[in-house]
Amino acid sequence: MTKPFLRDARVSPYMKIYTKKGDDGTTGLLYGGRVSKNALIIEANGAIDEAQSAIGLARAYLPTGSELVEIVISLERDLWIVMGEVATNPANRDKLVATSSVVTNDMVLRLEGLVDLAATKYEMPNEFVIPGSNLVSAHLDFARTIVRRAERLVVGLDLADNAIVSYLNRLSDLLWALARWQESDHLLAKHASSSPKN
């Protein structure tokens, strides 16, 4: 006997998630045009998408009402703007709107303020830190490495007159600072051979 979900899935009155337009190995850009799914612009956007999901994974481990939740959600929302700008057809960049689909210098400055705020919450380590003290800090560190990859890919796009690289650079700094804030103790690289405390 067919289960209800499978039976009802045969014909759906709802909007289709799949369009089949990408079956030829291309994907659409914002404001027109299509490129190969392995084009650098799509690789860059994919890395930003991964970073957003990784930040969301960190958020999933935060307790409700945590001071950090609001910050993390704001970063996830920012990354929609970053992805929109990166995924725009270069010929139509004039259609983008500041803080809606264009990364602004004010967005970069806000991250700098958050880095400074986070730095008041922990003692600055004087050595490289080994990630993994707890789930939240580990996921924030993982998100940071994805942001670094996204930054490298965006640099390769050579986009003119944008704040995307600066934003991603500050975001990786902020994720590092937030990860340190969430640690009770920093496990330093110079002590890597010793057993971590449980």
The answer to whether the beta carbons of residues 103 and 164 sit under 8 Å apart is yes
DSSP secondary structure letter of residue 98: B
CA dihedral 171, 177, 182, 184 (to 10 degrees): 160
Say how far apart CA 153 and CA 139 lie, in whole Å: 21
Count of Cβ atoms closer than 10 Å to residue 19 Cβ? 8
Please list the residues that pair with 30 across neighbouring strands. Answer: 88
pTM over 0.95: no
Q: List domains and CATH numbers for the chain.
A: 30-188 (1.20.1200.10)
The CA distances from residue 51 to 48, 105, 144, in Å, are 5, 20, 8
Q: What is the pLDDT of residues 111-147, one digit of tens each?
A: 999 999 998 887 766 666 677 578 998 999 999 999 9
Collapsing DSSP states into helix, strand and coil, what is residue 79? helix
Using one digit for the tens of pLDDT, what is the confidence trace for 32-89?
Answer: 778 667 788 899 999 999 999 999 999 999 988 888 999 999 999 999 999 999 988 8
